[in-house]
Structures are given as C-alpha cells and as structure tokens.
Chains A and B, each alone.
Chain A
C-alpha cells in the first residue's frame, strides 16, 4: 500500500501518531512489473558501466577517501525512542538566533512553536516532543562556546501527537505563500550548512532563478542518510522539488546523485518516469569528495563557476539538499514545523550503526547509548569526518544542520605521534584542491603569518575548508586548520578596521 502522504493532490492527513508514515514506507519499489524490472536492470547495468569508465560528470581535482558507507547504506531509517530531556539551542541555523516564547515550567505539545524567528533571515523553532520546559539557559555546542538553549523535559507517557496547522493543498499555494510556509516550518539546509531555506527560495530583487540543483551527492564518508531519504522518501522529495520550483520560478530541476548510489538514481528515475511532464532530471555524478559541495556540484552538472565572493543565485541557480526538500515536501502540506531529522549514526566505535529519525535536541550521549559502543571511544564527530566538528562534550545536541554522528576509536598512537614535517613540495595538495588554490604556498604564508597576503593575492577566501589538502599532505601539515585560523584573523582585523573607521 502506498502511504497517503505520497499522493499529491489528495487530502493529506496529519500523521498524528509517533509511528510516522515514513516508517511504513518501505525501500522497495512496490509496483514494478516484469518489463520495468528488466528496464531497471538495463538502466542499472548502463549506470554501472558508465561509472566504471568514469563517464559521469564531475569537477577537476578532489580526493577519494575510503567511503565506509557499507556500514549503514542498506539500513532503513528507524525511529529512536525519545530521550528524557531534549536540549534545543536557539541558534540552529545561519542568521539571527530565534527568540523563545515559552516560560520555564510551561507545558508544550510536540510540534508547538517555542521560539520565533528574529527577522527574515531567521527561522522559528518547534517543540520536538511533548513535555515541560525545564529551563532556558546555556548548553554546550559543537562549535565550543556555550549558547542559549531551551531544555525540554519529555513526558514519557505522552502520546507524542504532532500539533500542526490545518492541512494545505500544495497545488493551490502561490510562491509567496510557499516561501512564508517554509519560513514558518523552521526549515534550514539539512545537508550541514543550516542556511534558512526560505531565504534561498527568494533571491534578491533583480535576480531570478532558472535552475534548481538538488544535491544528493552525500560525498562525506560514512554518511548515508541522504541515500536512505532518496530511497525511502522519494515522494516527499519530489513534492518538495515541485514546491521549490514553484516558489523560485525556476524552469527545471536537476537531482545530482553520486554514482555510488545507483539504486537511488534508479528509484528516483522510476518515480519520475510515472510523471513525465515534470521538469526534473536525475543525473549521476562521479563519487568523489567534495562532490557535494555546492560549488563543485554546479561545476560538475552545469559547467559553471560561482564567481569569487558570489553565491549560486548570481548564476540563477539555487542548490538544495535532498533531505531539505524531502522535509519541505513533508512539512508544507501538513503545515507542520521541523521537529526531527534523519541522521547516520556510524563509525568504527558504534556497535549497531544505522540511519535514524531523531527528534532535534537529542543529546549525542543518548544516541551513543542507543546504538551501543564497541572498543574505546576516541572522537565523536558531528557531520561527516572530512568537514564535521569533533565535540568536546557528549551533551551536545543534534541540531537541524547535523547529518550524522561518527564515533571513531582513539587514533593509533604511532600515527598520533607522527611529526609535522616541512612541506616537501610534492604537489599532492595542489592536485587535490577543488578550487585550484596552491595550499602548499598558502601553508608557507600562514606559517610566516602573512595572513593579509593570503587573502589579497592568493584567493584564501575561495577556500571552503573541504579538507582535501590536509587529507593528502604526506608531511602531516594541518593546512585546513592554518587556513581557518588565517581567515578568522583576517575577519578580526577587518572588524577592527571598520570599528576604527566608524569612530
């Protein structure tokens, strides 16, 4: 049986139980008859062949870390129980923090608004569970400094029904209505950037969008949540794409999927094959890190480059993660807020890795307890291992932008003790940098504290800290960290200059 929510145009019911419709939505194609199965096989063989020959589109440079995706790629998304307490930071997105509208001691229902947006660039926050506000105070974050958060004590006996507005027919919503609904849902980029989605849907005046890129690359090792979303939430994803197309006025959408997820490509194409009038295409791109970076995906799929200092909207392009659009397709018809997300819980130190649907605010500690640990815990990373952040405390919660929790064993002492050698000019980083910088030279400038020169003459600000240079460096030079520090120092210097000027 097809889940109700996957039928566009039909009156959509709010799933008012914890057993969400997603849980019932299997990963198998329910309606493949013999002929389309044969067509599927041929399509699969063709994709595999093209992959083998490296015919799929890609960008130049990049690296090939070991993927480790086999740990969780075949595991369907499962729901985890609620923890006793949720920690809901007021800043889970890029932009001004949300403003809490609840008091300590107040009882809230799952899905109820608990914090409102502070201006257009901000988003509201909804209660991820039914419970009572225990406190509003400082909580640890992955970034380091403690930040204001709402502490929500979950009622264990509550039904956990989701409070939502009246159901809406997405077909009858206008662009402005959709953009407003997206902001009201609190949706942000779920791929990791956490940039408010509604802001991207409405480009600045004078610009118009013509192409929507849907990012299903998931190039980070270990992570498989987007892969599972493409397989299991196909209908929501397509609905989300249609909403985004309508809101932006873009003419077409391209779903870019790395060719290590051929089943997802086939699934999406099979789904779209039933609606041939939709301007949505699915293209395979080479499995290579950092293919999922916005700039790299634009280069690979369209052959265009985002101008230095610019954004994709300058080219008339908007890029959304598949998880974001799947949530958009799920939440907008229901008039519901973003209260949970799919994460991949994986890594060598996790006993039962998998893809889980978790309420926002779930502490990392609870997730590790649920999945179990094996061996000694060395490092816990939020996001992927190439760009993710290591947490200092296991009380850090899952926020809207966290796509995975990766637990690693302690580093091999022999490797940990290896020295940092001088640069031997092997050129590996130059051949790895996806934006064609010269990390070797930038690294030497960083050591000489020539931070201004790095930015002014060597395009430091084009570096998006993908980590390729440090990944390949045989001298073990922490290049990415050097560049992060250099940028931060330059930002401080710029701030000081501006402060002086304003006096």
Chain B
C-alpha cells in the first residue's frame, strides 16, 4: 500500500458545499427573471441601462481589484449583482452616462473604499443610486410609461443623452405615443399627492410605471422565495422588512383610509419588495445574529413607511436601507447571544462583559 499522496488537513474534514461563488450565482440567477420582465415592460432602454450599469461596475471592480493587488475578483460574481441591482433601481429612461457614473461611484466608493467584497459597510448599488439621486435629481424623477409601442426598436429619448449633458426631455416623445392615462407619475406619487391608490393587483403583477425592476411585486416575491429556499438569502430579513412596513402603515390607514395608503399598497408599491428581498438581504451589510436581522428588517420597514408618509421624498426604501446598513454592526453587537456557560455575551465592544 503506497503511503504517498496521503493528505493531512485539519478538522473538520467535511464541508457543506455552499460557496460564495454559488451564492452569488444564485442571486444573479434570481435577478434575471426580474431583469427580463423589466426589459419586456420598458424595452430597449432598460436593456441598455442594465448592460451599462453591469459593464461599468465590472470594469470598475476589475481596475480597483488590480490596483488593490487582489487579482481578478470578477469570478465571484458579487459585482454583477451590484450592477444588475443598480440598473433595476433606476428609472427606465435614465441617461446611460449618468447610470455609468452611478455604477462607478457605487463600486468605487461603496465597495472598494472599504476593501472590496466582505468589507463594504453599505450596499454598493444603493450607494451609487444615492449619489445620482443627489447629483441628478431631475433625471432620477423622470418616469416613462410601461408598454410603450415600439419600445423594442427605439430607446426612450433620454436614454441616449450625450455625456455630461442634461437629459433630453421626453414630454414630446410621450405625447407622440398617444397614451390615455399617462400622468408621468409613479403609483407612489399618485397616492402621495392625489390620494388615489392604484389597484393593488396592477402593482402586484407589475404593469405600472416605476424604476426598471421594482414594478412586479409578484415576480420579486417568487424569485426571492426561491433564493431563500436555496438558503442563499436569510428569509428573516425580507419578512421583517415587510412586517415592519405593515406594522407602521396599518394604524394610519385605519385612522384615515382616504389619506393614507393601505398596507397592501405599501408592500407592493415602489421599491419595497425589491429592497426587502434583494438589497436589505445583502449579507455583507446586514447583521449576523438571528435577532439582529429581525431588528434590522423591522427598522427598514418602519423607516421606509415613515419617509414615504412624512418625509420630503416619495420613496424611502433606499435611505432606510442605507441607514440600517450603517447601523448593522451595532445591531449585531447588541444582539450577540449569551455565550454557553457564561454570564457575558460574545460582544464586539472590547469590554469584558462579565
């Protein structure tokens, strides 16, 4: 019997086979149907938008990983998720050059400033989006109608705005489409300012206006549940985000259903579903403890609805998640369970706790 080739490893000698690569590939796979629905709904513009954000994000990652001496980090796939998610949160007719800025800023400032995969404090896609929200407030609030005729042959005019220029106005283009009911606003804005609720079924199915990938609550739910089933997503996070949103929205709705949105509307409108299932659940920027993720999720749900109802913005998911991301290390720390056999907890504050 030959003795050569016998390996010496340290225990455990078994490993559950669920790697970072597989998780990232799973998330990408779950995002593809959402991206496909978005392209079907808004046409060529969204395809170009997604290609731009993903491409620029990947390019930025490649350059910065090389600069940081980490070699090629593209194969772990995390940057593809960032690119896709960013594209899905932008308005369908968002100028491509602005989308490229968002992708570059998101990956550079949101991720690599902190050291790359695993070290980012906040969700990079949302950092990118927050930057362009502040930099291009008009472009990011310009919505285009879904199912426009000819959407597969020519993009929305604003998409092809030349770099560093203001977006091409799309009012004339929309007029040319001769749509009856187009008001130029998303269901959220219509509810907020005119107190008219879009039928929840339309929101659920995703036949309304909005950011590229946020319209179909049903599709997001299915893809998210699949991901949770694959153990690639902590179901507690989306569940508690939704619970938090309902919890805060319900009393207001009961007080004045004419003024405040119904809980079902709150859940299915805007970016809440996409945010809850695909952005709040970002492993890197969420707490690690089981109790912590529930607090974190509830906080996002509550804050989102508070911003929507009382803030200066129509949508609050993005800022709610970014703030919760920033708080998550503390939440992890506070919710660290008591260590077996001790009075103290495995805390991160550097203080002996017993």
Across the interface, do A425 and B346 meet the contact criterion of CB distance under 8 Å? no
- Chain B residues lying within 8 Å of A408, measured Cβ to Cβ, are 13
Q: Which residue from chain B places its CB closest to the CB of A427 in the assembled complex?
A: B288
Are A459 and B342 also in contact (CB < 8 A) when A394-B6, A424-B284, A436-B337 are?
yes
Is the C-beta of B347 less than 8 angstroms from some C-beta in chain A?
Answer: yes
- B contact patch SS: loop
Is the C-beta of A480 less than 8 angstroms from some C-beta in chain B?
Answer: yes
Is the C-beta of A132 less than 8 angstroms from some C-beta in chain B?
Answer: no
How far is B339's CA from A299's CA once the two chains are assembled, in angstroms? Answer: 13
- Chain B residues lying within 8 Å of A474, measured Cβ to Cβ, are 18-20, 22-23
- Chain B residues lying within 8 Å of A360, measured Cβ to Cβ, are none
Is the C-beta of A306 less than 8 angstroms from some C-beta in chain B?
Answer: yes
- Contact pattern, B 14-29, Cβ under 8 Å of A = 1, otherwise 0: 1111111111000000
Is the C-beta of B169 less than 8 angstroms from some C-beta in chain A?
Answer: no
- Chain A residues lying within 8 Å of B13, measured Cβ to Cβ, are 379, 381, 385-386, 388, 390, 406, 408
Across the interface, do A377 and B5 meet the contact criterion of CB distance under 8 Å? yes
Are A459 and B6 also in contact (CB < 8 A) when A438-B288, A470-B12 are?
no
Within the complex, the shortest CB–CB distance from A393 to chain B, in Å, comes to 7
Quick one: which of B1, B18, B346 contacts A369, CB cutoff 8 A? B1
- Chain A residues lying within 8 Å of B12, measured Cβ to Cβ, are 385-387, 467-468, 470-471, 480
Across the interface, do A434 and B340 meet the contact criterion of CB distance under 8 Å? yes
Is the C-beta of B286 less than 8 angstroms from some C-beta in chain A?
Answer: yes
Within the complex, the shortest CB–CB distance from B94 to chain A, in Å, comes to 29
Across the interface, do B341 and A305 meet the contact criterion of CB distance under 8 Å? yes
Across the interface, do B336 and A438 meet the contact criterion of CB distance under 8 Å? yes
Across the interface, do B346 and A307 meet the contact criterion of CB distance under 8 Å? no
Within the complex, the shortest CB–CB distance from A14 to chain B, in Å, comes to 37
Is the C-beta of A52 less than 8 angstroms from some C-beta in chain B?
Answer: no
- Chain B residues lying within 8 Å of A393, measured Cβ to Cβ, are 3
Across the interface, do B118 and A475 meet the contact criterion of CB distance under 8 Å? yes
How far is B340's CA from A468's CA once the two chains are assembled, in angstroms? Answer: 15
- Among the stretches A151-159, A169-177, A323-331, A415-423, the one at the interface with B is A415-423
- Chain A residues lying within 8 Å of B261, measured Cβ to Cβ, are none
How far is B13's CA from A410's CA once the two chains are assembled, in angstroms? Answer: 11
Is the C-beta of B271 less than 8 angstroms from some C-beta in chain A?
Answer: no
Across the interface, do B347 and A422 meet the contact criterion of CB distance under 8 Å? no
Are A424 and B117 also in contact (CB < 8 A) when A390-B9, A437-B346 are?
yes
Is the C-beta of B137 less than 8 angstroms from some C-beta in chain A?
Answer: no
- Chain A residues lying within 8 Å of B15, measured Cβ to Cβ, are 415, 470-471, 473, 476
Is the C-beta of A392 less than 8 angstroms from some C-beta in chain B?
Answer: yes
Across the interface, do A421 and B117 meet the contact criterion of CB distance under 8 Å? yes
How far is B11's CA from A459's CA once the two chains are assembled, in angstroms? Answer: 21
Q: Which residue from chain A places its CB closest to the CB of B336 in the assembled complex?
A: A438
How far is B340's CA from A435's CA once the two chains are assembled, in angstroms? Answer: 5
Within the complex, the shortest CB–CB distance from B288 to chain A, in Å, comes to 4
Is the C-beta of A365 less than 8 angstroms from some C-beta in chain B?
Answer: yes
Across the interface, do A484 and B1 meet the contact criterion of CB distance under 8 Å? no
Query: What is the total of A-B residue contacts with beta carbons within 8 Å?
Result: 181
Quick one: which of A385, A418, A442 contacts B11, CB cutoff 8 A? A385
- Chain A residues lying within 8 Å of B69, measured Cβ to Cβ, are none
Is the C-beta of A430 less than 8 angstroms from some C-beta in chain B?
Answer: yes
- Contacting B at CB under 8 A, from A460-503, are 462, 465, 467-468, 470-476, 478, 480-481, 484
Is the C-beta of A145 less than 8 angstroms from some C-beta in chain B?
Answer: no
Quick one: which of A379, A392, A436 contacts B346, CB cutoff 8 A? A436
Is the C-beta of B176 less than 8 angstroms from some C-beta in chain A?
Answer: no
Within the complex, the shortest CB–CB distance from B257 to chain A, in Å, comes to 39
Across the interface, do B76 and A421 meet the contact criterion of CB distance under 8 Å? yes
Across the interface, do A418 and B19 meet the contact criterion of CB distance under 8 Å? yes
Across the interface, do B10 and A424 meet the contact criterion of CB distance under 8 Å? no
- Contact pattern, B 264-298, Cβ under 8 Å of A = 1, otherwise 0: 00000000000000000001111111100100000
Are A379 and B7 also in contact (CB < 8 A) when A425-B284, A426-B283, A436-B338 are?
yes
Across the interface, do B347 and A457 meet the contact criterion of CB distance under 8 Å? yes
Is the C-beta of B8 less than 8 angstroms from some C-beta in chain A?
Answer: yes
How far is B17's CA from A445's CA once the two chains are assembled, in angstroms? Answer: 25
How far is B122's CA from A158's CA once the two chains are assembled, in angstroms? Answer: 74
Q: Which residue from chain B places its CB closest to the CB of A369 in the assembled complex?
A: B1
How far is B239's CA from A230's CA once the two chains are assembled, in angstroms? Answer: 45
- Chain B residues lying within 8 Å of A472, measured Cβ to Cβ, are 16, 18
How far is B166's CA from A83's CA once the two chains are assembled, in angstroms? Answer: 87
Within the complex, the shortest CB–CB distance from A442 to chain B, in Å, comes to 8
- Contact pattern, A 37-62, Cβ under 8 Å of B = 1, otherwise 0: 00000000000000000000000000
Within the complex, the shortest CB–CB distance from A486 to chain B, in Å, comes to 13
Across the interface, do A388 and B116 meet the contact criterion of CB distance under 8 Å? no
Is the C-beta of A350 less than 8 angstroms from some C-beta in chain B?
Answer: no
- Contact pattern, B 85-119, Cβ under 8 Å of A = 1, otherwise 0: 00000000000000000000000000000011111
Across the interface, do A438 and B348 meet the contact criterion of CB distance under 8 Å? yes
- Chain A residues lying within 8 Å of B350, measured Cβ to Cβ, are 453, 457
- Chain A residues lying within 8 Å of B11, measured Cβ to Cβ, are 381, 385-390, 465, 467, 480
Is the C-beta of B214 less than 8 angstroms from some C-beta in chain A?
Answer: no
- Chain B residues lying within 8 Å of A422, measured Cβ to Cβ, are 115-119
Residue picked from A295, A369, A390, most chain B C-beta under 10 Å: A390
List 3 tightest A-B contacts by C-beta distance, closest first: A422-B118, A467-B12, A427-B288
Residue contacts A-B, CB under 8 angstroms, 12 given: A65-B14, A365-B1, A378-B7, A415-B17, A421-B20, A426-B288, A427-B290, A459-B339, A462-B339, A474-B19, A475-B118, A484-B10
Residue ranges of B at the interface with A (Cβ–Cβ < 8 Å): 1-3, 5-23, 76, 115-119, 234, 283-290, 293, 332, 336-342, 344, 346-348, 350-353
